[in-house]
Amino acid sequence: MKYRLSKKEKIEPIAPVCRKEAYFTFEDAQAMIKQIEETRVTRKIRAYQCNICGLWHLTSSQGKQ
Ligand SMILES: [Zn+2]
């Protein structure tokens, strides 16, 4: 009997090179955004792929950075 980790497992941010929460996939990042937006009022959040660690980070778009 083989066990596979469920994709529904808690998404845990890992510690990448850059010290921001990062997600392995765009989908993971999106799931996190959804969760955040459902649980609190926040600015619009979007995911972007980091060109340093290659993972996905979240950023809130608020005009200028
Ligand atoms: Zn990064």
Residues of the chain with pLDDT under 70: 1-16, 62-65
pTM given for the model: 0.63
Task: Look at residue 65 in the predicted model and tell me its pLDDT.
Answer: 46
Confirm whether 15 is domain-assigned: no
Task: Look at residue 32 in the predicted model and tell me its pLDDT.
Answer: 94
- Residue 31: domain span: 26-60
Confirm whether 21 is domain-assigned: no
Confirm whether 18 is domain-assigned: no
Cα(39) to ligand 1 centroid in Å equals 25
Q: Residues whose CB is under 5 A from ligand 1 (ion)?
A: 18, 50, 52-53
Number of domains the chain contains: 1
Task: Look at residue 8 in the predicted model and tell me its pLDDT.
Answer: 58
Measured CA to CA, the distance from residue 44 to residue 33 in angstroms comes to 9
Q: What are residue 30's phi and psi, to 5 degrees?
A: -60, -40
Is the CB of residue 46 less than 8 Å from the CB of residue 61? yes
Cα(1) to ligand 1 centroid in Å equals 37
The residue among 4, 10, 58, 64 whose CA lies nearest residue 36 is: 58
Confirm whether 20 is domain-assigned: no
Cα(19) to ligand 1 centroid in Å equals 7
Task: Look at residue 58 in the predicted model and tell me its pLDDT.
Answer: 94
